[in-house]
């Protein structure tokens, strides 16, 4: 970083440290207000969220109910940075009471196979806080895949926050080789798997009954490494969080590489949908998941 970047980094860090000392109720109130203001001012994301909600749950919501649901979504998303800030200054031991871990035996069973584990998760609940939850169950040798921020001071700060409890963050660029090595050593790699992909690196899958293009890279890694894939998600319950591990997703192999990629990618997308349905109001509906349209010759 340049001298200017370092100064900006220190200023941001001091501001966040100060905010982290504020009462949690005050931060919650501020985040709720911020979410509602964001909903009102950001027409583009508001439109995307409303369309996504109506698409995922056809005939379930009236226009009024969909708007009410969307406002809850915006408030939940707005709470993520404020909750992360509040957790930032807390010790590992102080955070233990805030997390309830369920289904950990699914992860332990997968680890015993000795081929490494890929934790499949999505933008549900406060996914940023999983890095704080993982040490509470003794998870070690764990890595997370993430997309770097373009703004260097923020990138440096977020990387520091995410790694303070032992998780090692790996930027998406050039990550494939590193992931292979980690899995060969029996490590654990967490990855978000619920974003739109381009037709050139994606597979058309079914997501909430509608064609969605999903990245094919995860299936390729699993087919190559034979690593276990374990879904996990974390949702907020009042002022605490529940981390839920689900059973391993069996690897499907037909002998046809293209078909194997398609089948396994669909299985991963199905798992994501299952997780989202557990607490849909805490999902990241502002993302245009169905942006890439299926190829058609007509």
Identify which has the larger pLDDT, 130 or 179. Answer: 179
pLDDT recorded at residue 298: 39
From residue 63, alpha-carbon distances to 40, 44, 118, 186 in Å are 16, 17, 39, 49
pLDDT recorded at residue 164: 78
Domain residue limits, the chain: 3-282
**Nearest C-alpha neighbor of 241 from the set 86, 112, 118:** 86
Inform me whether the pLDDT recorded for 54 exceeds 90. yes
From residue 221, alpha-carbon distances to 14, 83, 159, 199, 264 in Å are 40, 33, 24, 19, 11
Mean pLDDT of 63-83: 94
Residues 265 and 276 sit within 8 Å (Cβ to Cβ):
no
> What is the pLDDT confidence band of residue 25, given thresholds at 50, 70 and 90?
confident
**Burial (Cβ within 10 Å: 0-12, 13-18, ≥19) of residue 275:** buried
> Which pLDDT tens digit goes with each residue over 142-172?
888 888 888 888 888 888 877 877 788 888 8
Residues 190 and 239 sit within 8 Å (Cβ to Cβ):
no
- Residue 166 CA to residue 184 CA, distance in Å, equals 20
Triad 215, 221, 222: Cα angle to 5°: 105
pTM: 0.92
């Amino acid at each position: 970083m340049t001298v200017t970047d370092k100064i900006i980094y220190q200023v941001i860090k001091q501001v966040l440290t100060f905010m982290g000392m504020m009462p949690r109720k005050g931060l919650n109130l501020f985040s709720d207000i911020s979410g509602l203001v964001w909903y009102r001012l950001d027409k583009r994301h508001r439109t995307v969220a409303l369309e996504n909600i109506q698409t995922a749950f056809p005939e379930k919501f009236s226009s009024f109910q969909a708007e009410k649901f969307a406002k809850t979504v915006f408030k939940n998303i707005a709470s993520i940075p404020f909750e992360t800030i509040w957790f930032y200054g807390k010790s590992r031991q102080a955070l233990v009471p805030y997390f309830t871990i369920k289904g950990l035996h699914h992860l332990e069973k997968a680890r015993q196979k000795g081929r490494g584990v890929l934790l499949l998760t999505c933008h549900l609940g406060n996914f940023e806080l999983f890095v704080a939850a993982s040490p509470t169950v003794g998870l070690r040798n764990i890595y997370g895949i993430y997309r770097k921020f373009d703004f260097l001071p923020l990138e440096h700060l977020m990387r520091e926050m995410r790694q303070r409890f032992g998780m090692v963050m790996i930027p998406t660029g050039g990550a494939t080789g590193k992931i292979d090595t980690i899995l060969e050593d029996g490590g654990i790699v967490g990855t978000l798997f619920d974003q739109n992909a381009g037709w050139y690196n994606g597979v058309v899958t079914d997501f909430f009954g509608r064609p969605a293009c999903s990245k094919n890279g995860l299936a390729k890694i699993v087919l190559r490494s034979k690593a276990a894939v374990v879904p996990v998600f974390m949702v907020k319950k009042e002022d605490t969080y529940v981390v839920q591990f689900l059973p391993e997703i069996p690897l499907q192999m037909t002998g046809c590489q293209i078909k194997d990629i398609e089948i396994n990618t669909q299985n991963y997308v199905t798992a994501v949908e299952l997780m989202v349905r557990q607490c849909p109001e805490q999902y990241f509906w502002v993302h245009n998941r169905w942006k890439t349209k299926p190829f058609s010759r007509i």
